[in-house]
A and B are shown apart, each in its own frame.
Chain A
Amino acid sequence: MSPVPAPSDLPVELRTEALESILVEKGLVDPAVLDKFVKTYAEDVGPLNGAKVVARAWTDPEYKARLLEDGTAAIAELGFKGPQGECIVVLENTPTRHHLVVCTLCSCYPWPVLGLPPTWYKDPAYRSRAVREPRALLAEFGLELGPEVEIKVFDSSSEVRYMVLPERPAGTDGMSEEELVSLVTREAMTGVAKTKAPA
């Protein structure tokens, strides 16, 4: 094992800053790249609880039935409950029906499963256009839905929060529940994206 750094009396934030400045001077780190990594991980990692719920529903038909019947109770079975999750309704996407979740008044969101709402969810343009022109809005998110797909928009409120159960992607039959968790994104669980099989 390599030698461990000697104990230091200096504050850890200064030691971190010192290391960064030296690495930047040596040309080994670009501060802009560093910023990008922090931002990407902070935004793209998680929310794990909702993903676990989805993966369980994909692999356990009885759980899925309970989840669609009473979302709050089925989610609580996995240990997820808390503020902003008193009543969660789960909406199942199918090849002909796509659900999109919005909160037109503010940013009501099922925290226990999806964590804190992303910036776009709180954006006034998203909140109004999700209702007025969902198909065009989804296309801007990169989700082009054919005319055969009906889009149902659900408006969250302080009483009821919604979570989308996305379709299990084709080509994932051999994957375990644990592996499936990593495919489920917050975008898929709000209905602005589909889940994709690993490339």
Chain B
Amino acid sequence: MTLLDLDVEGPAAPPRSNGELVFAAPWESRAFGLAMALHDSGRFEWEAFRRQLIAAVVRAERAAGEFSYYRCWLEALQTLLASEGVVDLVVVEERAGVLAGRPAGHDHDHEHGR
């Protein structure tokens, strides 16, 4: 397992505190780990992901609303995986809908953000 030199500055740089990565919620670290694990197994070149990430950050900064780095991260990962035919985003969305319908107590119902 090789560690990448993540960007420290610029649009692709993840949020840090004194150089350490900061995850504001568990899903952010899951999204982070997904990209790392997929890259490590040779699914994509890091630079290809990084390009998608920068594009997603630029789009988010142009759009109104609160900026979330890891929302951009997830969008970049989805875009890349879809463009390479690895996953079908319609299927992902359907699965998320199924997960949303889980009975209370086994679900994130109380914390639905947006």
Q: Which residue of A lies closest to B74 (CB)?
A: A16
Contacts of A134 in B (CB 8 A): none
Given known A18-B93, A22-B91, contact A12–B3 (CB-CB < 8 A): no
Min distance, Cβ A76 to any Cβ of chain B, angstroms = 15
Q: Could you tell me if A49 and B27 are in contact, using CB atoms closer than 8 angstroms?
A: no
Min distance, Cβ A90 to any Cβ of chain B, angstroms = 17
Given known A2-B82, A23-B87, A34-B30, contact A11–B21 (CB-CB < 8 A): no
Min distance, Cβ A19 to any Cβ of chain B, angstroms = 5
Q: Could you tell me if A47 and B92 are in contact, using CB atoms closer than 8 angstroms?
A: no
Q: Could you tell me if B19 and A12 are in contact, using CB atoms closer than 8 angstroms?
A: no
Residue among A1, A8, A11, A19 with most chain B CB within 10 A: A19
Q: Which residue of B lies closest to A29 (CB)?
A: B37
Min distance, Cβ B63 to any Cβ of chain A, angstroms = 10
Given known A18-B99, A33-B40, A47-B19, contact A3–B82 (CB-CB < 8 A): yes
Q: Is the interface of A mostly helix, strand, loop or mixed?
A: helix
Contacts of B112 in A (CB 8 A): 11
Q: Could you tell me if A45 and B18 are in contact, using CB atoms closer than 8 angstroms?
A: no
A42 at interface, CB cutoff 8 A: yes
Cα(A133)–Cα(B79), bound, Å: 54
Cα(A115)–Cα(B71), bound, Å: 26
A182 at interface, CB cutoff 8 A: yes
Q: Which residue of A lies closest to B32 (CB)?
A: A38
Cα(A116)–Cα(B18), bound, Å: 9
Q: Could you tell me if B1 and A19 are in contact, using CB atoms closer than 8 angstroms?
A: no
Given known A46-B21, A49-B18, contact A41–B36 (CB-CB < 8 A): yes
Q: Bin chain B's interface residue count.
A: 35 or more
Q: Could you tell me if A48 and B19 are in contact, using CB atoms closer than 8 angstroms?
A: yes
Q: Could you tell me if B100 and A19 are in contact, using CB atoms closer than 8 angstroms?
A: no
Min distance, Cβ B34 to any Cβ of chain A, angstroms = 6
Given known A18-B92, A115-B17, contact A28–B43 (CB-CB < 8 A): yes
Q: Could you tell me if B83 and A45 are in contact, using CB atoms closer than 8 angstroms?
A: no
Given known A3-B83, A13-B26, A30-B37, contact A45–B78 (CB-CB < 8 A): no
B69-97 contacts to A, CB under 8 A, are 70-71, 74-75, 77-83, 86-87, 89, 91-93, 95-97
Q: Could you tell me if B31 and A16 are in contact, using CB atoms closer than 8 angstroms?
A: yes
Contacts of A38 in B (CB 8 A): 23, 29-30, 32-33, 36
A51 at interface, CB cutoff 8 A: yes
5 closest residue pairs by CB, A with B: A48-B19, A46-B19, A2-B83, A46-B20, A18-B95
